[in-house]
Structure 1
Amino acid sequence: MNRQDLADLSAFVAVAREKSFTRAAAQLGVTPSALSHCMRALEERLGVRLLNRTTRSVTPTEAGERMLRSVAFHLDEIETHVAALNDLRERPAGNIRITADEFSLQTVLWPRLRGVLAEHPDIKVEIEADYRLTDIVAEKFDAGVRLGESIDKDMIAVPIGPPVRMLAVATPDYFARRGRPRVPHDLAEHCCINLRLPTYGGLYAWEFERAGRAQRVRVEGQLTFNTIYQCRDAALDDFGIAYLMVDLVREHLESGKLEAVLEEWSPPFEGYHLFYPSRRQPTPAFAAIVEALRYRA
């Protein structure tokens, strides 16, 4: 294989992943027309069509899918080994991409990152705040942040925060008007504030547990949001019951603006973890980030 074939295969992986000549060209720093010509030349040399092209989209053929699965892994490995050459530098350096939800970013990730970034100015971090269950391998993130119970078993998971707890909360005025639910299923008679999860487009089912007995409750109400901060603000504005992490509402519980119910049904559970592929060979920069984030009780 010559160097041109290697460059063209790398370009093919970019097109197949982005499913767009325009986006892949921007990523590679070339024009879409030049990239399209490059892909046709590669297909001619291989004697097989790799991409289906329409006016609206670009998708891999069956042969293209097979090529993507086999080639992308090896190209990612090459990138990892090249990045590992930073071992030869005196100071950790490099680019790290992390995906996290907005709450973990504000409460766990950023407070810990500030110190390590100040100490290592050659480390550059890009963080994408998102509530999706992002596929970090497919979307080329170095790591992600999720609650421990939702991480795939083939990932390395490093705890970066203490156990967390969810509570059903509303204003004292709301409970004075509508009464207080005694068991989770009583929520069916209440106005609840829903959270829509972007990964599946569905509404979050509130999860409760008591004495080893778990319950998932679908709630109804006037309002649905896709971020927890708006759910909290709506609860403070007396629009009903919201189900939120304690740290998000702690000051409002202490001040009496909000009250909690069903506390005996809301035990703590595993907190936030940084996760990344088990086959990943950590660079010095990535190792510095992991150690800075690692939670020590």
Structure 2
Amino acid sequence: MKRDELGDLIAFLAVCEERSFTRAAARLGTSQSALSHTVKRLEERMALRLLNRTTRNVAPTDAGEKLAETLRPALDDIEARLDSLNALRDRPAGNIRITASRDAAHTILFPKVAALMREYPDITIEISVDQRFTDIVAERFDAGVRLGESVEKDMIAVRIGPDLRMLVVGSPDYLARNGRPEVPDDLTHHTCINLRLPTLGGLYAWELGKDGRNINVRVEGQFTCSDPDLVIEAAVAGLGLCCLPDTHLQSGIDSGKLVPVMQEWCPSFPGYHLYYPSRLQTSPAFALLVERVRWRG
């Protein structure tokens, strides 16, 4: 294989994974036109159509998908072996890509990786903030961050934060006007603020429980929003009760703008975990990252 042919294959795989010439070009640090020319050259050399192109989408053909399935493990192995060479350096080095939700990225992940990058300037870290459940293997991330209960069984999971609780809160003004709910059934008589889930688009059913009894409560009210910060603003403004993770609500509770209710119905659950494939050959840089973000209690 000629040297430029390997580059063509890497370019094709990037387009195949990103489903976009624009995003793939940004990922590879090249222009869209140059990338399009590269893929076209590969198709001509192989005498096969590898990608179906429309104005809105790029998708692999059957031949393209088979080629991508062949390339992924081979290139992953090359990348892992190159990363392992970093062990020969005096200081850990290399690039680490992580996908995480906005809350986890801001409150837990970034403060720790910022300190790591200051100490080790040869380590580069990319955090992709995304609320959806990302296939880290298919999208070539080194690791992802999810709540412990959501991590797939075939992944290695490392706790990076404390247990969390979903708390029900309201403003002092709202509670003075409407009273405090004591049990989940009381919520039917209250105005509640709905959170629309960004992953599936449905409304979040409030997850409550006590003495081993878990229930999901569908609530109703005037206001619905997909942004937790706006949900909190609405609760502070007295527009109803809301139910969000305690990490989102703590500052409002500490300031007295929000008051927790039904706390005995708000059990804790496993917090954020860093997860990665069990077959991953971890580089010294990645192993160092895992140790730095590990929750110590």
Q: TM-score, normalised by structure 2?
A: 0.90
- Aligned twin of 1:153: 153
Partner of 1:242: 242
Greater shift in the superposed pair: 140-149 or 185-194: 185-194
> Unaligned stretches of 5+ in structure 1?
none
TM-score (norm 1): 0.90
Which amino acid in structure 2 is aligned with residue 240 of structure 1? G
Pairwise CA RMSD: 2.1
Q: Does residue 100 of the first structure (1) align with residue 64 of the second (2)?
A: no
1:132–1:197 CA contact under 8 A, matched in 2: no
1:295, CA displacement in angstroms?
A: 0.9
SS at match of 1:207: strand
The answer for the alignment partner of 1:273 in structure 2 is 273
**Secondary structure in 2 aligned to 1:234?**
helix
Identity among equivalent positions (%) equals 56
Partner of 2:173: 173
Q: Which moved more, 1:187-196 or 1:105-114?
A: 105-114
Count matched residues: 297
Name the CA shift for 1:100/1:38 in 2 (closer, same or farther; >3 Å): closer
Compared CA separation, residues 32 and 196, structure 1 to 2 (3 A): same
What are the Cα deviations for residues 205-247 of structure 1, in whole angstroms up to 9, with x where unaligned? Answer: 2111222221112222222222322222221121111112223
Kept after mapping to 2: 8 A contact 1:157/1:273: yes
Cα distance in 2 for partners of 1:107, 1:23 equals 28
1:139 matched to 2:139: yes
2:13 corresponds in structure 1 to 13
Tell me the equivalent position of 2:264: 264
- Alpha-carbon deviation of 1:251? 4.1
Letter in structure 1 aligned against 2:236: L
Moved more, 189-198 or 153-162: 189-198
Instruction: Name the SS for the 1:243 alignment partner.
Output: strand
Which residue of structure 2 lines up, in the alignment, with residue 216 of structure 1? 216
Counterpart for residue 228 of structure 1: 228
Cα gap change, 1:101 to 1:28, in 2 (>3 Å): closer
**Residues 31, 109 of structure 1: CA spacing in aligned structure 2 closer, same or farther, 3 A cutoff?**
closer
Partner Cα separation in structure 1 for residue 21 and residue 42 of structure 2: 15
Cα distance change on mapping 1:252 and 1:71 into 2, 3 Å: same
- Is the Cα–Cα contact under 8 Å of residues 43 and 50 in structure 1 kept in the other structure? yes
CA–CA distance in 1 between the matches of 2:242 and 2:105? 21
Structure-2 change in CA distance of 1:235 and 1:58 (3 Å) = same
Q: CA offset at residue 148 of structure 1?
A: 0.4
> Which residues of structure 2 form unaligned runs of 5+?
none
Q: Which amino acid aligns with 1:283?
A: S
Give, in whole Å, the separation in 2 of the partners of 1:27 and 1:252.
40
Contact 1:145 1:272 in 2 (8 A): yes
3-state SS in 2 of match to 1:175 = helix
C-alpha distance in structure 1 between counterparts of 2:292 and 2:4, whole Å: 41
